[in-house]
Amino acid sequence: MIHTTSEKLFDRAVQVIPGGVNSPVRAFASVGGKPVFITKASGSRMWDVDGNEYIDYVGSWGPMILGHAYQPILDALRTVMTDGTSFGAATEREVEMAELIRSIMPSIEMVRMVNSGTEATMSAIRLARAYTKRNKILKFDGCYHGHADSFLIKAGSGAATFGVPDSPGVTASVAEHTLTAEFNNIESVRAQVQQHPHEIASIIVEPVVGNMGCIPPKNNFLNDLRTLCDAENIVLIFDEVMTGFRVALGGAQERFNIKPDLTTLGKIIGGGLPVGAYGGKKEIMKMIAPSGPVYQAGTLSGNPLAMAAGMAQLKILKTDSSVYEKLEQSGSLLEKEIGQFIAQKKYSVTINRVGSMMTLFFTSQPIRNADDARTCNTKLFGEFFQSMLNEGIYLPPSQFEAAFISSAHSSKDLEKTVKAVQKSLSKVFEM
Ligand code: HOZ
C-alpha cells in the first residue's frame, strides 16, 4: 500500500499539532510508522487520503455500532441542522433523549448530558464526593476514564500505550486521593477499603475493560463490588462509555445484571457526534446544579445535532434486536476462526471477547488484569498491526485497546479479516 499523501500530511501536522494528532491513541507511535489520514467512511469501510480502502475495526472507538455514515443518522442531522446548530437553551430533544436513556438503562433515573466521556466521569466523581462527603476515589490499574487529573493514575488506553499512566502535571495533592486496585481482584479492593475507612467516595470501573484491551469481569467480581459498596456506603460508578449500548442494549449492567449507583456514557449516544452523559439514582443526581449545589455546566451540552444523531442511533438499537444478535454472531465467528488457527499453530496469542469488543493479546497467558496485559509482546503486536493495515484491515493502533465490530461488517468482511489475521500471524511468528 502507498501512503505518500498521509506521510506528507503527518509531516505538516507535527509542525502545528503536538505529535501530529489531536488524541494520542490515533498516532501510530507504538506500532511504528506514521498514521494514515482518513477522508471518508461508509458502512464497515474507511478510505485514506491515498485512496486505500480499509475494513474498520476502530469505529471511532465505539460509537459507529451501526457502521459509518448510517443513513437514518445522516437524515436526522440534515433535518435538524436547518433549524440551527446550537441555542445554549433548553430543547425538547434533550428531554426525549433523557427519557430514552432512562427507558433503556433503568438504573439511570435522572441524567445530565455533557460533551465527552471525560466530562461525564470527572463530573460523576465530583458528585459522588459531594454526596458522600468523602474525598477519595478508587479506580483500577489499567482502566481509563478520560483525561481528568484524578484518573491519570495507573491509567490505560493511550496513557499506557505511551508510557505515561501517571501523567506529569497531575499534582500530588490530587493524586493522593486516587486509590488503585487490581481489576478482577476483589481482595485488592477490600484491602484499600480497610486501609481507608469512611474515606472512599466512589469506586469507578469499566465493567468490561476496553482500555487495556478487552478484559471481561470474572464471575462474581462486579457483584462483589456492588456488595462492598453497599456495605461501605460507597458510590459505585460504571463507566459505560465503551460498553453502554454495546455489550448489550442496556450495557454491561444489563449483561451482568448489576445496578450501579451512577453510570457514565459517551460517544455511542451521539451517533458519532461529541457527546457524553452521566446519570443514576435520583437522590444523588438531584444534587447537581441548579437543583442542588454541585456545580457542572456546558454551553454545548444537549446540543441539537448531537441529540438528533444520538437518538436516531439509540432508537434503532432499542427497536431492532437483530443488531445485537448479528454483533454476537460476528464476534463469535471471528473468535472461533482465529482461535482455531492460533491453537493449531500454537502461537502465543490470547483472544478476549465480550460481544462485539475483542482483543488479540500477544501472550499465551490469560488476560485478567493490567499486569497480565503488560506481559504482551508489543513489538510483535506492532508488526501484526502493520501487516493487517497492509492487508486493508484498520485495527486500533495499540495492544492496549479493544477492536469494535459493527452491524455493518458483512460475512465477506469477516472472511477477509480472518484470512488477513492468518496471513499476518504467520508472517510475524514465522519471520
Ligand atoms: N478511550 C478511547 C480509546 N481507548 C478514547 C479514544 C481517544 O482517547 O482518542
Candidates 157, 214, 240, 265: which one to mutate for ligand 1, based on the most atoms within 8 Å of Cβ?
157
How sure is the predictor about 164, in pLDDT bands with cuts at 50, 70 and 90?
A: confident
**Nearest residue to 390 (alpha-carbon basis) of 411, 412, 361, 421:** 421
What order of strands is seen across the sheet that includes strand 110-114? 110-114, 276-280, 262-265, 235-239, 200-205, 136-140, 178-181
pLDDT (tens digit per residue) in 17-59: 999 999 999 999 899 999 999 999 999 999 999 999 999 999 9
Q: What is the per-residue pLDDT for 393?
A: 98
Is 144 a pocket residue for ligand 1 (Cβ < 6 Å)? Answer: yes
The Cα–Cα gap between 289 and 42 comes to 40
pLDDT (tens digit per residue) in 260-317: 999 999 999 999 999 999 999 999 999 999 999 999 999 999 999 999 999 999 999 9
Q: Which atom of ligand 1 lies closest to the CA of 26?
A: 9
Amino acid (1-letter code) at residue 410: S
Could you tell me where in the chain the CATH 3.90.1150.10 domains are found? 4-69+321-430
Is 61 a pocket residue for ligand 1 (Cβ < 6 Å)? Answer: yes
Instruction: Note if the pTM is more than 0.95.
Output: yes
Q: For residues 181 and 275, is the Cβ–Cβ distance under 8 A?
A: no
pLDDT (tens digit per residue) in 117-139: 999 999 999 999 999 999 999 99
- Residue with CA nearest ligand 1 atom 2: 61
Q: Which CATH number fits domain 71-319: 3.20.20.60, 3.40.50.620, 3.40.640.10, 3.30.460.80?
A: 3.40.640.10
Is 25 a pocket residue for ligand 1 (Cβ < 6 Å)? Answer: yes
Q: Which atom of ligand 1 lies closest to the CA of 23?
A: 9
Q: Which fold has domain 4-69+321-430?
A: Aspartate Aminotransferase, domain 1 (3.90.1150)
Could you tell me where in the chain the CATH 3.40.640.10 domains are found? 71-319
Mean per-residue pLDDT, 346-366: 98
Residue 44: HSE in the Cβ half-sphere, 13 Å Cα cutoff: 21
Rounded to the nearest angstrom, the distance between the alpha carbon of 25 and the centre of ligand 1 is 6
The Cα–Cα gap between 314 and 324 comes to 13
41: left (phi over 0), alpha (psi -120 to 50) or beta: beta
The Cα–Cα gap between 186 and 211 comes to 20
pLDDT (tens digit per residue) in 73-88: 999 999 999 999 999 9
The Cα–Cα gap between 31 and 37 comes to 16
Rounded to the nearest angstrom, the distance between the alpha carbon of 27 and the centre of ligand 1 is 11
pLDDT (tens digit per residue) in 89-117: 999 999 999 999 999 999 999 999 999 99
Is 182 a pocket residue for ligand 1 (Cβ < 6 Å)? Answer: no
Residue 356 has pLDDT above 80, yes or no: yes
**Which amino acids are annotated catalytic?**
144, 239, 267
Strands 276-280 and 110-114: antiparallel
